[in-house]
Amino acid sequence: MSRQDRQIVVVGSTGRVGTLVCREWAQHPPGGARVLRQVRRERHDAQGPALVWFPLDGPDVLLEHVEGTSPPAAMVVLAGVTPASGDHLETNTHLALACLEAAAQAGIGRVLMASSSAVYGASGDHPFTEADPLHPVNAYGEAKQRMEAACAPWRDRGLEVCCLRIGNVLGADALMLNAAEASHDMPVRIDRFADGKGPLRSYIGPATLARVLATLALRDGALPEVLNVASRHPVTMNALAEAAHLPWTWRPAPAQAHQRITMDCSLLERLHPFQDGESDAARMVAQLDRVRTRA
C-alpha cells in the first residue's frame, strides 16, 4: 500500500494541540496520507469530514467506519486531561486504554500516544533523555507516568505503542494562553534569574510537530517505546515573547523556580529530518500565526 492510500486516525483533534496539528495537516497532508479526525460531536468546518466517536464508549463506531477497508496506518492520540480542564487526571489512562483497545480491534498496528515532558520532573542539571528516571513533581506528570505504564502490556500483545514525551507546543502553552489576556497595563510576567536571563524550555512549533507526527506515523520500521518530542534546541521564554510582540515584563524569579527544564531530542533527530531554523523563536511564532489563520 502506498502512503497516499494510507490513513491516520487522530484522537483529540479538537483539543489545543490537536486543533493546531489538524489545521496544518489540512493544508499539508501528512506524507500524502488521509487524516480521519475523531470528534465528540458533529461539526462542520473547512477541514472536512470527521468521525463522531468517544473512545470511552467503546470501539464500535471506529470499527464500523473501517470495516471493509484497509486498516489505518496509525492512530495518533492527542486527547487527554490537564489540570486546567477540571476533569480527573486518571481519565488520561482510561482514554489511553480505550484507544489501544480500539486500535487493536481495528487492526491498527501503530499508536502514537501523547505523553508529556512533565513525567521527568524539574531538575535542570542536564537535558532529559528517554533513559532518565522519572520523577514528576506534580499530579499531571504523575498521571502521565501512570498512563505510560498502562500502555506497556499492549506491546506484549503485538501493538506498537510509542509514548511521545512532548515538550511545550507553541500555541497550546502557558505563555501563549496567558498572552491572550495580556495588555500593556497588565503584561505577561516572565521570571528573570540571577544571570539576567529567562526560563529555558524545550519548545516545538505547531507545523514542526505536525511534520514530526507524520514522519513517525508513516515511518517504516519500529519506533522506540518512548520518545522526546521538541525542536532540536531549547528557547527562552523571553525570546518567544519578543518574537510574538507580546506585552511582557520581567519579574524576579522566585527561589523555587527552575531556569532550565529541557529535553535531549537526539533520538528524534535520528528518525525525523528537522528543517534548519525550526528552533528559532521567530520561526516558531510565524508557524503559529500561519496555523491560526487556517481556522
Contact 177, 171 (CB under 8 A): no
Q: CA torsion 266→272→278→281, rounded to 10°? A: -50
Query: Do 8 and 276 touch, CB atoms closer than 8 A?
Result: no
Per-residue cell: 272: 525525523
Identify the structural domains of the chain with CATH numbers, from first to last. 3-169+204-230+264-275 (3.40.50.720)
- Give Rg (Cα) of the chain: 19
143's grid cell? 498521571
Position 32 scores a pLDDT of 85
* Residue 179, CA distances (Å) to 17, 49, 126, 182 in order: 17, 32, 29, 5
Q: pTM of the full predicted structure?
A: 0.95
Taking CA atoms, 190 is separated from 56, 89, 167, in Å, by 39, 28, 18
CA–CA dist 25, 114 (Å, integer): 17
- Measured CA to CA, the distance from residue 95 to residue 53 in angstroms comes to 12
How far, rounded to the nearest angstrom, does the alpha carbon of residue 36 sit from its chain's CA centroid?
17
pLDDT of residue 49: 76
CB 120 within 8 A of CB 135: yes
Closest of 50, 75, 280 to residue 159, by C-alpha:
75
Q: Would you call 285 helix, strand, or coil by DSSP?
A: helix
* Closest by Cα among 108, 118, 113 to 69: 108
Sequential pLDDT tens for the chain (295 residues): 444 468 999 999 999 999 999 999 999 999 889 999 999 887 666 666 799 999 999 999 999 999 999 999 999 999 999 887 767 999 999 999 999 999 999 999 999 999 999 999 987 679 999 999 999 999 999 999 999 999 999 999 999 999 999 999 999 999 999 888 899 999 999 999 999 999 999 999 999 999 999 999 999 999 999 999 999 999 999 999 999 999 999 999 999 999 999 999 999 999 999 999 999 999 999 999 999 887 6
Q: Give me the helix-helix angle, 16-27 and 281-292, nearest 10°.
A: 80
C-alpha distances in angstroms, 92 versus 144, 249, 262?
7, 35, 23
How far apart are alpha carbons 171 and 179 in whole angstroms? 10
Give the Cα separation of 29 and 17 in Å (integer).
17
